Amino acid sequence: MRELTYVQAINEALKQNLERDERVFLMGEDIGKYGGIYQVTAGLLDKFGPQRVIDTPISESGFVGAAIGAAMTGMRPVVEVMFIDFTTCAMDMIVNQMAKIHYMFGGKGKVPLVLRANLGAGRGTGAQHSQSFHAFFLHIPGLFVVVPSTPHEAKGLLNTAILNENPVLFLEHKKLLPLTGNVPEEYYTIPFGKADFKRMGGDMTIVATHAMVHRSLNVAEMFAKEGIEIEILDPRTLKPLDKESIIESVKKTGRLIVADEGPVTCGVASEISAMIAEEAIEYLRAPILRVGSPDAPVPTSPLLEKAYIPDEDDLIQAVNKMKAFL
């Protein structure tokens, strides 16, 4: 079995899609000659030429909008916004245009594009380049939001995203870029709306996204020594969300921790907590705990940034709190 990094897996997916479908093209800042800020699109310009790998001016609204127009008229663009933080420069295009066109126009017109962006703190990139506010996009009907946590999932889910007829936000976590994993060479897809049980356990459930998945796995190993078995569920796509699997796990363990790197207030964890409180409250044996970033901008100084990021220490704190309800 072949091992690729998260970056290589995405690169391969893009390459294979550019090969198999001439309607697919890439657009974004510095994705061509430079190969992308984190080298995710390295080598693709050479292989496919400037018609299909376009280096854009710094105008998110303009080129995301252009991707929309192109998608509406027969193409299948994969447009990159360098950091999720910059999607704010294209908010009208994302919120008022791509998310609504199919609906507003009564089911006519569709926007089959993929908007790739990276998120997450941990590389000292500071307040405007490290955010994880993907929860914004869950709040806008009409968008799909994909959050792969492994190289295998990154490739499979990106393939599915490109095939999908809806606008898909495909979000890559900075800290996962060098992560290696088994990635089949052939073309394959992973369905949206299907969570993955990364670990089975009976005592409590952690629903985790992106880097929180791996941090939770580390923490689970530690607690296993104490005889506490933690179940870890990775939604993989936040929209569409696999509610059923989450409820199933809560029914079993009765104790839920939701871990997502966005700020806690009104984040992904809040939505999942509310959903469980509404649909599965009678199974709860403990309050629902949310682990996420604090309600503060991301600081740069390393110790501060480390304190900011929700990591193993914060998860351990949550599990310990939960232990009192065992």
Partner 1 sequence: MDLSRDQKLGLYKKMIEIRLFEEKIQDLYARGSIPGSVHLYIGQEAIAAGVCAHLRKEDYITSTHRGHGHLIAKGADLKYMMAELFGRKTGYCKGKGGSMHIADFDLGILGSNGIAGGGIPIAVGAGLSSKMRGTDQVTICFFGDGASNNGTFHEGLNFASVHRLPVVFICENNLYGISVSQKQHQAIKDISIRSVAYNMPGITIDGNDVLAVYQTSGEAIQRARAGEGPTLVEYKTYRWRGHYEGDPNQGRRYRTLEEIQMWMKKCPIKRFEAKLAKEKVLNKKKVMDIWKEVEKKIEEAVAFANQSPFPDPGDIFEDVYVS
Partner 2 sequence: MHLTKDRAMSKSNVPDGSEVLRAVPLVRWVAKKERIDLSLVKGTGPEGVILPKDLERFRTTQSAMGTVVPTEKRSASSLARKLATKKGISLEKMSGTGNRGRIMMADVARAVEKGAIFLDGQGMFGQTLPMTQMRKAIAKRMSLSVFTAPHIYFFTDVEMDALNRRREEILPDFERKFRIRISINDFFVKAVALTLGEFPILNSRLQGEEIYIMPEINVGLAVALEEGLIVPAILRADRLSLAEISQIRTDLVDRARTRKLKWEEIERGTFTISSLAQFDITFFTAILNPPQSGILSIGKETDHLALREGKVVTKKIARFGLSVDHRVIDGVLAAKFLESLKHRLENPSLGSL
Least distance from partner 1 to the Cβ atom of residue 235, Å: 17
In order of 8, 29, 246, 261, the CA distances from 268 in angstroms are 28, 28, 13, 9
Closest C-alpha among 86, 210, 71, 60 to residue 149: 210
**173 noted as active-site residue:** no
**Do 90 and 65 touch, CB atoms closer than 8 A?**
yes
Which of 3-11, 73-81, 169-177, 294-302 is the region at the interface with partner 1 (rule: CB under 8 A)? 73-81
Q: Which of 9, 31, 45, 67 binds partner 1 (CB under 8 A)?
A: 67
Cα radius of gyration rounded to whole Å, the chain: 20
For residue 243, what are its two tokens?
């509610």
Reading phi first (left if > 0) and then psi (alpha if -120 to 50, else beta), residue 272 is in alpha
What is the closest distance, in whole angstroms, from the C-beta atom of residue 21 to partner 1 in the complex?
Answer: 13
Tell me which of partner 2, partner 1, none is bound by residue 321, counting a contact when its beta carbon lies within the kind-specific cut-off of 5 to 8 angstroms: partner 2
Among 36, 142, 151, 310, binds partner 2 (CB under 8 A): 310
Convert residues 231-270 into a mask of x (bound to partner 2 by CB under 8 A) and - (unbound): -----------------------x---------x------
State the minimum distance, in angstroms, from the CB of residue 227 to partner 1: 44
C-beta of 143 vs 280, nearer to partner 2: 280
Hey, how many other C-beta atoms are within 10 angstroms of the C-beta on 12?
20
Q: What CA–CA distance (Å, rounded) separates 211 from 63?
A: 29
- The interface region with partner 2, picked from 16-24, 117-125, 175-183, 281-289 by CB under 8 A, is 281-289
Cα separation of 224 and 232, whole Å?
13
Q: Which stretch binds partner 1 (CB under 8 A): 2-10, 54-62, 242-250, 303-311?
A: 54-62
